[in-house]
């Protein structure tokens, strides 16, 4: 099972960035109390890891297809990105693949 953060014509959005690039002007690039000065992840991957952590912490089982749907929704809710299943035809994105 494979999903990508975006399609072939766009890049994924950065997240956990320094205050200068943050909408709330707060530092989100702090690790161990030190400001790193760069974005720490892309939105799709961070959403995936945070969803994984949530289900692990609360011991809630989740199928990959369910996680893909949730993460796709969270990513598209914040930004107009198109997480894609690479094995799908070029015109089809995760929306059509995951909703089947």
> Which residue ranges make up each domain of the chain?
42-98
d(CA 50, CA 83): 16
pLDDT given at position 52: 95
Q: Is the pLDDT of residue 14 over 70?
A: yes
Name the pTM for this structure. 0.67
Task: Work out the average pLDDT over 86-90.
Answer: 48
pLDDT given at position 98: 42
Whether the Cβ atoms of residue 29 and residue 17 lie closer than 8 Å to each other: yes
pLDDT given at position 4: 79
Q: Is the pLDDT of residue 77 over 70?
A: no
Residue 98: is it exposed, middle or buried by C-beta count within 10 angstroms (0-12/13-18/19+)? buried
What is the share, in percent, of the chain residues with pLDDT greater than 90? 28
Bridge partners, 15 (sequence order) = 41
């Amino acid at each position: 099972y494979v999903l990508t953060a975006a399609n072939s014509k766009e890049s994924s959005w950065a997240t956990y960035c320094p205050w200068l690039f943050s909408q709330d002007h707060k530092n989100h690039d702090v690790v161990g109390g030190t400001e790193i000065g760069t974005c720490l992840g892309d939105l799709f991957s961070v959403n995936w890891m945070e969803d994984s952590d949530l289900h692990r912490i609360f011991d809630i089982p989740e199928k990959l297809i369910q996680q893909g749907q949730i993460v796709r929704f969270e990513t598209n809710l914040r930004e107009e990105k198109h997480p894609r299943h690479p094995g799908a035809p070029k015109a089809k994105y995760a929306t059509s693949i995951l909703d089947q």
